[in-house]
Structure 1
């Protein structure tokens, strides 16, 4: 058992950027995967940005042989050979932990992985047989930040068992505000024909400040408050890419987490207004 918790991560992702052009975030994902393997991380628990359940429910992916859903603008040959390794025993335990804490949670035995999770795994573990077993959990479609913070808090003890917990979402992710022409014509997702809009730059900075200038329970409060930021709705046309940040603040926002810093790791911009930022919550040592 580690002396202190395994760090948690918020990986803000794009889509084609993960498997297309090389980028600083892609290098960071690889370094995190290398570190996880070096330290013998047993499993990964991940909440993505494209799977949510209605009503009061959440679900845990329990398909023993999941497939990968198609990725827009990405040739299937770039990802179809990657081997997914679901951690079914840990999935049962995650369900039990959440149920014991009052969540309405069920196993989903037919769920196929979406690009918000498997593309990050491909960057973390580029060799087909090197990936660590994974449990994917859904969000809830009401997108209540406090609900998702509590989810993270319930699963936080897994970090003391050498389990890596990841939130995969977006720092600024509003598809209605992106510039698509360079992507559609030339498959160039990194083209910046004009600077990002003020709304994107302001909210991106607010996100960095919330993660890096707060620790412990104050971090949870800071992330939840971002949904009331005056530029939030411009930065996030929908809540799905933000809510995993609330989840990860629950994972790494306990009083004990005050002892360890949260760090900004890397960033890139896509389609002019989409910011992809990576944050590490806690430290390896």
Structure 2
């Protein structure tokens, strides 16, 4: 059984950066069995109704401006997996989660930037899924739990976002992590490692500096979804933690089975 993962996707330039986190992502892919398919929830695909990509060929979406030209030259020509998309649809329906197929959506940078590092040959089929920031934390967890059985079928479930993601507080002159950002991530780590769902589901009220770390929820909810996907295991392990520009958290959490 594969673990589920939460991976920070940082800035779009992650795809062309060279540092400890990108090196970690490269090694992570080789540390687990090669998946038959990848199911990925991206913070950059928001929808009130749960969307499931069903395109045969996924286009590379450049949902950003003002970055180096070499980024716009990157293609991640992953294929979809319609059989898996239909299976996901059935799993959601079995749990009473409304959803619909989307045969137009490709991969935004929250999806293809980390995948370009982890699986650069783009040979593994990908099914992209949207997030709905209006849901409660419990509902996000339930979305992930609905897909937990896929892990037994060698399907890799990824949530792509960022635990501390406040673009207004970035400090390009001082890359050292700010105290409030560290305090939030430290609190989060304690709750994840003890699988304290009561605290996690009320993080907005209980976590220190929650308003600063998570000013809007779309980058945080992929963590809750990935957590829910390991609901049968209740194992959490922080594999990497670093910061860019003081407040942009680059973390990777593994939920469920241990790596080899």
Q: 1:269 aligns with which of 243, 252, 255?
A: 243
**Farther off after superposition, 142-151 or 220-229:** 220-229
Look up the match of 2:15.
19
- CA distance in 2 between counterparts of 1:214 and 1:34 reads 27
**Residue correspondences, number:** 256
Q: 2:40 aligns with which of 46, 63, 79?
A: 46
Q: 2:177 aligns with which of 168, 171, 196?
A: 196
- CA distance in 2 between counterparts of 1:200 and 1:246 reads 19
Deviations 1:4-56 (A, max 9, x none): x31111101202452233122212221222234xx3421111111111212xx
Assess, with a 3 A threshold, how the Cα gap between structure 1 residues 195 and 268 changes in structure 2: closer, same or farther: closer
Assess, with a 3 A threshold, how the Cα gap between structure 1 residues 32 and 88 changes in structure 2: closer, same or farther: farther
Assess, with a 3 A threshold, how the Cα gap between structure 1 residues 63 and 150 changes in structure 2: closer, same or farther: same
Assess, with a 3 A threshold, how the Cα gap between structure 1 residues 91 and 196 changes in structure 2: closer, same or farther: same
Look up the match of 2:214.
236
**Aligned with 2:138: secondary structure?**
helix
Q: 2:170 aligns with which of 178, 184, 188?
A: 178
| 1:80-95 superposed matches below 5 A | 80-95=74-89
TM-score, normalization: structure 2? Answer: 0.90
**What is the alpha-carbon root mean square deviation over aligned residues?**
2.0
| 1:198-213 superposed matches below 5 A | 198-211=179-192, 213=193
Look up the match of 1:185.
none
Alpha-carbon deviation of 1:248?
Answer: 1.1
Look up the match of 1:214.
194
TM-score, normalization: structure 1? Answer: 0.82
| Match status 1:158 vs 2:150 | yes
Assess, with a 3 A threshold, how the Cα gap between structure 1 residues 284 and 268 changes in structure 2: closer, same or farther: closer
Unaligned runs of 5+ in 1: 183-191
Assess, with a 3 A threshold, how the Cα gap between structure 1 residues 232 and 77 changes in structure 2: closer, same or farther: closer
Alpha-carbon deviation of 1:78?
Answer: 6.2
Alpha-carbon deviation of 1:104?
Answer: 1.1
Q: 1:226 aligns with which of 189, 203, 212?
A: 203
- CA distance in 1 between counterparts of 2:123 and 2:53 reads 17
- CA distance in 2 between counterparts of 1:194 and 1:137 reads 32
